[in-house]
Amino acid sequence: MATTPIAPRPPAPAPRPHTNTVLLWILGIVGGGILLLVVCGLVVAGMVLRHVRVDHAGDNVAIETPAGALRISKGDAHSTGLPEYPGAVASKDQSADIEVSSNNKRAGVAIEKFHTSDSRDVVVAWYRKHLSPSFRLETNETAKAVARKWDTDVDPDDIAFVDDRDDGARVIALKAVGASTDIVLVRAGKQEPQ
């Protein structure tokens, strides 16, 4: 009997890498990187929060860090230090004081708003008598120039006393409201350490 030779089998194809395994490795590396970033962020945040103190009382907030401090107050009594018109009623909800300090140097902005039933002319005369010569009266023409520069609306009757020498500015803005007057006091810039 004759045997028929058996044809050799072709070699088995080389095993292909599993694409699922490669994808899992990539996702694992990306996930590990994200986890490392989160852990590092939490460590840095913990170190920062350990050295930051936040005090909150009513409308006042104070944040103290080793580099400096930030204090924000709403409605503080006479935070601008500018003369208050006698008999004017303070608007506490529209007053604020923001102060930044570092290395015994302070800077900030304080705003107070008042209203009086006196006419603007009477208020202007009182401030002329009670302000130092460093204040100058800014009239409508100056205000119009500022309004054109900053693209804002200025009422033709608004006037202000301004002292912007040294390292800051002090402003007393007067706006006629019918027969009465709104008074806004503003102090901005460096302050002397206390």
pLDDT confidence band for 161 (50 / 70 / 90) = confident
The pLDDT value given to residue 126: 92
Note the Cα 78 to chain centre separation in Å: 22
Q: What pLDDT, on the 0 to 100 scale, is given for residue 25?
A: 82
For the chain, what are the domain ranges? Answer: 53-191
Around Cβ 148, how many Cβ atoms within 10 Å? 10
Q: What pLDDT score was predicted for residue 143?
A: 54
Angstrom distances, CA of residue 3 to CA of 6, 66, 82:
9, 96, 120
Q: What is the pLDDT of residues 76-106, one digit of tens each?
A: 666 777 888 998 888 767 677 778 888 777 7
pLDDT of 117: 92
Q: Is 21 a residue whose pLDDT tops 80?
A: no
Q: Is the pLDDT of residue 54 over 70?
A: yes
Which pLDDT belongs to residue 193?
Answer: 47
The answer to whether 116 touches 87, Cβ cutoff 8 Å, is yes
The percent of residues in the chain predicted with pLDDT above 70, rounded, is 76
The average pLDDT across 125-148 equals 75
**Contact by Cβ (8 Å): 112, 182:** no
Please give the share of the chain, as a percent, with pLDDT higher than 90.
6
Asked whether residue 122 carries a pLDDT value surpassing 80, the answer given is: yes
Q: How far is CA 89 from CA 53, 75, 160, 172, in A?
A: 35, 13, 19, 15
**Mean pLDDT of the 7-15 span:** 68
The 3-state secondary structure of 108-144, one letter per residue: EEEEEEEEECCCHHHHHHHHHHHCCCCCEEECHHHHH
pLDDT of 12: 66
Residue 98: the pLDDT is 77
CA distance 113 to 82: 12
**pLDDT value of position 37:** 94
Integer CA distances (angstroms), 11 to 5, 7, 15, 16, 17, in order: 18, 12, 12, 15, 18
Residue 149 predicted with pLDDT over 90: no
Average pLDDT over residues 37-55: 83
Q: What is the DSSP letter of 89?
A: E
Mean pLDDT score across all residues of the chain: 77
